[in-house]
């Protein structure tokens, strides 16, 4: 498998970075399929990760293809990307002071077969003031993020705690993916995963959206 083409079915810079921790020389090709799976948040994330992988594999039969889908859910309701600033504010108000789930479904497919994995990470927000929400929304970052925040970016300043795999909440459980890739005979580099404590210290000291 050392010479097998690997294709990531995504244009996400975050997923490219995380996959790059494991392997080199992979390609990227965004999936073209509709993201219209129905069901529980967990089922939707897993189905859409599978659909993305199968869509790209259909055009790359000689490759091993990796698909992933990440979504935010509060009280069983999927929070997609906000349609405007007001919608972003409403989502952030709903998340304020509460824990929610981030589901990431992953699929690896090649001529050898198919393997899937689902991860749930619990993320707890701090209590957000109107001023903090307005400051964050004014950066523009929430408008293209599911759930109206990016945990790996400025949105990390809004988070109190993370239970589960941080990389999964970012978009790809790299350690879990390594296990899937090894099932297909792909050699991966050792990777310990992202550390939420390190992220929290960074935001406490360096982020303009002050904690406290």
Are the beta carbons of 44 and 37 closer than 8 angstroms?
Answer: yes
- Alpha carbon distance 137, 26 (integer Å): 34
Tokens of 47: 């189905």
Q: Which of 69, 119, 165, 167 is catalytic?
A: 69
Q: Where are the beta strands (DSSP E) in 113-188?
A: 113-125, 159-163
- Alpha carbon distance 28, 127 (integer Å): 38
Nearest to 15, CA basis, from 60, 49, 61, 63? 49
At how many degrees (to 10) do helices 13-20 and 174-183 cross? 60
Burial of 174 (0-12, 13-18, 19+ CB in 10 A): buried
36 catalytic, yes or no? Answer: no
Q: State the catalytic residues.
A: 69
């Amino acid at each position: 498998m050392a010479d097998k083409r690997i294709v990531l079915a995504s244009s996400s810079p975050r997923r490219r970075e995380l996959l790059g921790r494991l392997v080199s020389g992979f390609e990227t090709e965004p999936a073209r399929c509709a993201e219209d799976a129905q069901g529980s948040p967990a089922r939707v994330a897993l189905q859409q990760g599978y659909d993305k992988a199968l869509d790209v594999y259909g055009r790359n039969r000689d490759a091993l293809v990796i698909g992933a889908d990440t979504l935010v859910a509060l009280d069983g309701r999927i929070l997609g990307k906000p349609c405007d600033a007001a919608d972003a504010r409403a989502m952030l108000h709903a998340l304020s002071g509460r824990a929610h789930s981030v589901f990431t479904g992953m699929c690896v497919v090649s001529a050898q077969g198919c393997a899937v994995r689902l991860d749930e990470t619990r993320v707890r927000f701090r209590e957000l003031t109107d001023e903090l929400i307005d400051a964050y929304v004014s950066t523009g970052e929430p408008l293209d993020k599911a759930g109206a925040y990016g945990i790996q970016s400025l949105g990390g300043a809004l988070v109190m705690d993370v239970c589960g795999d941080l990389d999964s909440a970012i978009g790809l459980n790299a350690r879990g993916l390594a296990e899937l890739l090894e099932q297909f005979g792909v050699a991966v580099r050792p990777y310990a995963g992202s550390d939420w404590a390190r992220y929290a210290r960074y935001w406490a000291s360096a982020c303009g959206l002050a904690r406290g």
